[in-house]
Amino acid sequence: MTDGPEAATPSTHLLRRLNADRVLGEVWDGEPVTASGLMAATGLSRSTVLALCRELTERGWLVELDDARAAGSYTKGRPALRYAFRPDAALVVGVDAGQHRVSAAVADLHGRVLAEEAVHLDPASDAGARRDAVRGAVDAAVARTGRSGADVAAAVVGVPAPVEAAGVPSGERNPFWARMNPGLGDLLADRGWDAVVENDANLAAVAEAEHGGGAAAYAALLVGERFGAGVVLDGALRRGPRGAIGEMRILDLVEGVGSSDGLGALARDEARRALARGDGEPSTLARVPAARLDAAHVLAAADDGDPLALRVRERLADRLSRVCAVLAGLLDLDRVIVTGAMAPALGAVVERARALLPGHLHDPAVEIVVSDLGPEVVRAGAVRMAVDHVRSHALDRDLAGVGPVGA
Amino acid sequence: MTDGPEAATPSTHLLRRLNADRVLGEVWDGEPVTASGLMAATGLSRSTVLALCRELTERGWLVELDDARAAGSYTKGRPALRYAFRPDAALVVGVDAGQHRVSAAVADLHGRVLAEEAVHLDPASDAGARRDAVRGAVDAAVARTGRSGADVAAAVVGVPAPVEAAGVPSGERNPFWARMNPGLGDLLADRGWDAVVENDANLAAVAEAEHGGGAAAYAALLVGERFGAGVVLDGALRRGPRGAIGEMRILDLVEGVGSSDGLGALARDEARRALARGDGEPSTLARVPAARLDAAHVLAAADDGDPLALRVRERLADRLSRVCAVLAGLLDLDRVIVTGAMAPALGAVVERARALLPGHLHDPAVEIVVSDLGPEVVRAGAVRMAVDHVRSHALDRDLAGVGPVGA
DNA sequence: AGCATTAGATTTACGTGCTAGATTTTTGTC
DNA sequence: GACAAAAATCTAGCACGTAAATCTAATGCT
């Protein structure tokens, strides 16, 4: 990349690259390391490790800390050089481009959010307005870090639509999808960043990766207006050729479900309908204007013991348990993580759904849990994926001179 | 392995191994190659290629052909040494241990079946009888090749039950499953072979790998007594933590399906019930004794235009289309391959199911096709998987002296 | 202060794998 | 028989890695 001998002996360089990658992986998320530590971790010899560290330092990925035995792990003898990963060597951008809200974050290479910006957006906005919103939010967030856009290495945008393998929008299939992803990838790639557009549920799944524990098979289930799942099998996100794995239109065919409407939509509609019917049963929900009644009201009322709300909640639990049963039954999942903006309010619903599960699955090995990542799951997943992208392409890139030099 | 310098420099040996593996992969399924051909294919230098070929020849994987320019591709110059893969350097065993039939095949490393043996078996047989049947079929098939069991490198057995990741039977969950896999893995491992037990539908999916064309996402659907699918996503078979991906118990919850009964069971039961009701409608099927009436009769009668059989066939198509819709809708499949013993008779059913599909899927990108691999799909998949196993562990093994030396 | 101790850093020698280019062998053609 | 072509072989030489001896910095003990 700089001026090293270019591919004189391709095969042997491969080996070097493999080892460099291992070392980088070792430091990326961890504490500063000494050469001896790396020797133990990688099985390489001291000379090799030192050479690799020198190279990675020159390339801008590591800094040499000279604070000697500051780590305090030992007292005698010569203090070791310590190499530390530079999480601020580059920036990443993560965006949740939702239907009525765009939220952007700029993070360092540890995924720590340094700045954020959110803007509201009319769900009916046209392509141009949507692009402007994304551009605006991203630029504002980057500006707020006090660093240059040139320091950004990669950006990931989540959209509420399937995204085909190569990041190509599947717009021809569905005009709604096209509107949700009006060339957002190119928009960011024009900045000179590596840009990826990804489905929102898939990003939620990425965000839940740690939370998913050691689970090699799980789904992140977005439950708001429509159901949508991001599916991880054998430890990796599965998209499908059309990006449609976890698309839940098929719920139309499932008994007791009948549509892909999410729990938010269902709660609202059921409650409104029951109130409109006026079964005579008194409900505190009757005091809320029908047009403003939403899932949050219903769930709160249920917590207060309101009978109508309790009936609706039971319906939600039933539907959720069936959706989880279909997902887990076919995909042999260890876990379904209920996530999205309304997830925190769904404790009781999930608990009840868990209880209903054995009625639908012969051998329910799946565990339904509520995400604790809060409303910015998708954005967090976008940041995470951007970091992973940089990580996996790290050795193709030279950072020397980019960003602040200090640790 | 033989007596080379043991791991003097592990890292550099890794490189050698990588290249050897590439060369082996190049020859495995192809024509004999010259050094020049390999140079072009691998990008390695002549010296390296020749050294690798020499090594692989010593190890028993390749033979040096000296029939000069027999290939006729060129006429001038010194004739190249040609190296050919030795498909008979080792044997593999593939077994379909079905409910009422055990079928074993012995094949070479190209997957060409050299000998086979099938035995019938009472579906109610206990563990011992089932083990004996497998042992008997395998030994007979091996004997028929005229070669020793020591030449067998790997064996794969398909069973009609989920198999957990490590080949562990999931017997505690279900006594039927335990009976279907009474320690068959150990049985074959005791012969000194690498033994793998795998679900039958998964093996069908492996067998359909070529037939699945370039499809990176497809399912092989067994449709006989019960539905069961082997699922390939991102080019690899997906099993799930409990080996239950593609288990179709969940069909209980699908509208218009209601059970995981396969098309064979459905055809039989529907026809019998209709005849018993005696709707008055004359049907040629009435001439078949009820206890012997099965799917084959029904499908044949439908082809002859029998109205009752046609009604049943329509039901089969409807059910099949729904099952495919669920699979493809959730998994974003390119293709569902209908397979199993009765597949060849299902042309009309599949055609009709294709037509019904748009009624269930908004955007049916999936293609339903009938397998043309015949009744031994599972066994073929077992052979295929065994070959792949040997291929991927090839460099751990020394074949020198094993098997016939000639090509 | 001097000295052994400890552990990291450096140097040197060497093995292995690969490449590149010159050389030789084997064939066919004129 | 000279020449051209294709392939194998030989010879350097380089890159990467290991191993072991040597060097160097910090510490505790006397």
Cα–Cα distance for residue pair B134/B140, rounded to 1 Å: 10
Domain check: are B44 and B185 in the same one? no
Domain check: are A246 and A354 in the same one? yes
Domain check: are A64 and A128 in the same one? no
B194, part of any domain? yes
Residue B35 CA to nucleotide C21 C1', Å?
18
A-chain residues near B177 (CB < 8 A): none
Q: Mark out the alpha helices in A163-294 (DSSP H runs).
A: 175-180, 184-189, 200-207, 263-277
A333, part of any domain? yes
Question: Helix (H, G, I), strand (E, B), or coil: what is residue A66?
Answer: coil
What's the rounded mean pLDDT across residues A250-274? 90
Q: For chain B, what is the largest distance between any 2 Cα atoms, rounded to a whole number of angstroms?
A: 85
What's the rounded mean pLDDT across residues A242-247? 92
Cα–Cα distance for residue pair B189/B239, rounded to 1 Å: 22
What's the rounded mean pLDDT across residues B223-229? 91
Q: What is the pLDDT of residue A32?
A: 83
A274, part of any domain? yes
Quick one: closest CA in B to A244, which residue?
Answer: B332
Choose between B378 and A9: higher pLDDT.
B378
Q: Looking at chain B from residue 350 to 379, which residues have their Cβ under 8 Å from any Cβ of chain A?
A: 360-363, 365
Residue A403 CA to nucleotide C10 C1', Å?
32
Residue B74 CA to nucleotide C29 C1', Å?
14
What's the rounded mean pLDDT across residues B29-52? 88
Quick one: closest CA in A to B243, which residue?
Answer: A332
What's the rounded mean pLDDT across residues B295-301? 92
Q: Taking CB atoms and an 8 Å cut-off, how many pairs form between chains A and B?
A: 125
A402, part of any domain? no
Is residue B311's pLDDT more than 70?
Answer: yes
Domain check: are B70 and B147 in the same one? no
Is residue B4's pLDDT more than 80?
Answer: no
Model confidence pLDDT, tens digit, residues B233-254: 999 999 999 999 999 989 999 9
Of A271-285, B9-23, B258-272, the range with the lowest mean pLDDT is: A271-285
Question: A159 φ, ψ to 5°?
Answer: -130, 150
A333–B240 CB contact, under 8 Å: yes
What's the rounded mean pLDDT across residues B336-345? 93
Residue of B22, B164, B252, B331 to mutate, interface with A, max A Cβ within 10 Å: B331
Kindly report the average pLDDT of chain B as a whole number: 87
Domain check: are B81 and B119 in the same one? no
Domain check: are B223 and B289 in the same one? yes
**Side-chain-side CA neighbours of residue B89 (13 Å):** 24
Q: What is the pLDDT of residue A7?
A: 39
B406, part of any domain? no
Q: What is the pLDDT of residue B120?
A: 95
Q: In Å, what is the CA distance from B403 to each residue of B146, B149, B153, B207?
A: 11, 11, 11, 26
Residue B76 CA to nucleotide D3 C1', Å?
13
Domain check: are B382 and B368 in the same one? no
A360–B252 CB contact, under 8 Å: yes
Residues 6+ apart with CB under 8 A from B324: B221, B336, B353, B357, B366, B368
What's the rounded mean pLDDT across residues B294-317? 92
Cα–Cα distance for residue pair A168/A239, rounded to 1 Å: 13
Hey, is the C-beta of A47 within 8 angstroms of any chain B C-beta?
Answer: no
pTM: 0.90
A106, part of any domain? yes
Query: b or e along B53-73 (b: 16 or more beta carbons within 10 Å of the residue's beta carbon)?
Result: bebbbebbbbbebeeeeeeee
Judge whether A163 and A198 are in contact, CB under 8 Å. Answer: yes
Residue B395 CA to nucleotide D11 C1', Å?
30
- Band (pLDDT 50/70/90 cuts) for residue B172 is low
Domain check: are A41 and A170 in the same one? no
Q: What is the pLDDT of residue A407?
A: 34
What's the rounded mean pLDDT across residues B1-23? 68
Name the β-bridge partners of B233.
B236
B-chain residues near A11 (CB < 8 A): 15, 19, 44, 48
Question: Helix (H, G, I), strand (E, B), or coil: what is residue A306?
Answer: coil
Is residue A365's pLDDT more than 80?
Answer: yes
Q: What is the pLDDT of residue B68?
A: 58
Q: What is the pLDDT of residue A9?
A: 57
Hey, is the C-beta of A255 within 8 angstroms of any chain B C-beta?
Answer: yes
Domain check: are A186 and A262 in the same one? no
Of A281-290, B232-241, B310-319, the range with the lowest mean pLDDT is: A281-290
Model confidence pLDDT, tens digit, residues B244-286: 999 998 999 998 888 889 999 999 999 988 888 876 677 788 8
- Among candidate residues B85, B104, B124, the one where a domain is terminated: B85
A1, part of any domain? no
Is residue A237's pLDDT more than 90?
Answer: yes
What's the rounded mean pLDDT across residues B102-126? 95
- Among candidate residues B35, B65, B85, the one where a domain is terminated: B85
Is residue B296's pLDDT more than 60?
Answer: yes
Is residue A111's pLDDT more than 90?
Answer: yes
Nearest to A241 among B18, B332, B362 (CB): B332
Hey, is the C-beta of B254 within 8 angstroms of any chain A C-beta?
Answer: yes
Q: What is the pLDDT of residue B12?
A: 81
What's the rounded mean pLDDT across residues B97-111? 95
Burial of B359: CB neighbours in 10 Å, binned 0-12, 13-18, 19+: exposed
- Domain carrying residue B337: 218-372
A-chain residues near B331 (CB < 8 A): 240, 245, 330
Nearest to B233 among A14, A238, A365 (CB): A238
Hey, is the C-beta of A157 within 8 angstroms of any chain B C-beta?
Answer: no
Of A87-96, B165-174, B371-380, B386-395, the range with the lowest mean pLDDT is: B165-174
Q: What is the pLDDT of residue B9?
A: 61
Judge whether B241 and A332 are in contact, CB under 8 Å. Answer: yes
B216–A254 CB contact, under 8 Å: no
Model confidence pLDDT, tens digit, residues B56-65: 998 889 998 8
Cα–Cα distance for residue pair B158/B134, rounded to 1 Å: 11
Cα–Cα distance for residue pair A98/A120, rounded to 1 Å: 9
Specify the CATH number for the domain of residue A52: 1.10.10.10
Domain check: are B329 and B225 in the same one? yes
- Band (pLDDT 50/70/90 cuts) for residue A71 is low
Q: What is the pLDDT of residue B82?
A: 87
Choose between B176 and A132: higher pLDDT.
A132
| Residue A354 backbone class (left: φ over 0; alpha: ψ -120 to 50; beta: rest) | alpha
Positions of chain C reached by protein Cβ under 7 A: 5-13, 15-21, 25-29
- Band (pLDDT 50/70/90 cuts) for residue B405 is very low
Q: Per the structure, how many domains does chain B have?
A: 3
Is residue B400's pLDDT more than 60?
Answer: no
Is residue A8's pLDDT more than 50?
Answer: no
A245–B325 CB contact, under 8 Å: no
Q: In what order do the strands lie in the sheet with B82-85?
A: B33-34, B82-85, B62-65
Judge whether A93 and A193 are in contact, CB under 8 Å. Answer: yes
Q: What is the pLDDT of residue A222?
A: 94
Shortest CA to C1' contact from B10: nucleotide:
D17
Domain check: are B360 and B236 in the same one? yes
Which residue matches tokens 């067994």?
A: B222
- Band (pLDDT 50/70/90 cuts) for residue B3 is very low
Q: What is the pLDDT of residue A383?
A: 98
- Band (pLDDT 50/70/90 cuts) for residue A175 is low
- Band (pLDDT 50/70/90 cuts) for residue A78 is low
Q: What is the pLDDT of residue A190?
A: 94
Kindly report the average pLDDT of chain A as a whole number: 86
Is residue A379's pLDDT more than 90?
Answer: yes
- Among candidate residues B22, B57, B85, the one where a domain is terminated: B85
Name the β-bridge partners of B104.
B95, B117
Q: Looking at chain B from residue 158 to 217, which residues have their Cβ under 8 Å from any Cβ of chain A?
A: 173-174, 216-217
What's the rounded mean pLDDT across residues A206-220? 85
Helix (H) or strand (E) holding B330: helix B307-331
Q: What is the pLDDT of residue A77?
A: 61
B213, part of any domain? no
Q: What is the pLDDT of residue A234?
A: 93
Is residue B168's pLDDT more than 60?
Answer: no
Sign of CA dihedral A344, A345, A346, A347: positive
What's the rounded mean pLDDT across residues A334-363? 93
B-chain residues near A326 (CB < 8 A): 250, 253, 326, 330
What's the rounded mean pLDDT across residues B79-84? 86
Q: What is the pLDDT of residue B363?
A: 78
Specify the CATH number for the domain of residue A128: 3.30.420.40
Encoded tokens for A141: 């967030």
Is residue B215's pLDDT more than 90?
Answer: no
CA proximity to B12, closest of A6, A19, A53: A19
Model confidence pLDDT, tens digit, residues A137-163: 999 999 999 999 999 999 999 999 888
Domain check: are B77 and B204 in the same one? no
Name the β-bridge partners of A83.
A33, A64
Encoded tokens for A129: 């307005």
Hey, is the C-beta of A101 within 8 angstroms of any chain B C-beta?
Answer: no
Q: What is the pLDDT of residue A368?
A: 95
Is residue A403's pLDDT more than 50?
Answer: no
A-chain residues near B218 (CB < 8 A): none
CA proximity to A89, closest of A55, A59, A52, A50: A59
Positions of chain D reached by protein Cβ under 7 A: 4-20, 24-28
* Footprint on protein of nucleic strand C, Cβ below 7 A: A 8-12, 34-36, 46-47, 50, 74, 76-81; B 5, 8-9, 12-13, 15-16, 19, 43-48, 51-52, 68-69, 75-79
Hey, is the C-beta of A1 within 8 angstroms of any chain B C-beta?
Answer: no
A239–B326 CB contact, under 8 Å: no
B330–A19 CB contact, under 8 Å: no
Choose between A31 and B122: higher pLDDT.
B122
What percent of chain A is modeled with pLDDT above 70? 87
Q: What is the pLDDT of residue B72?
A: 57
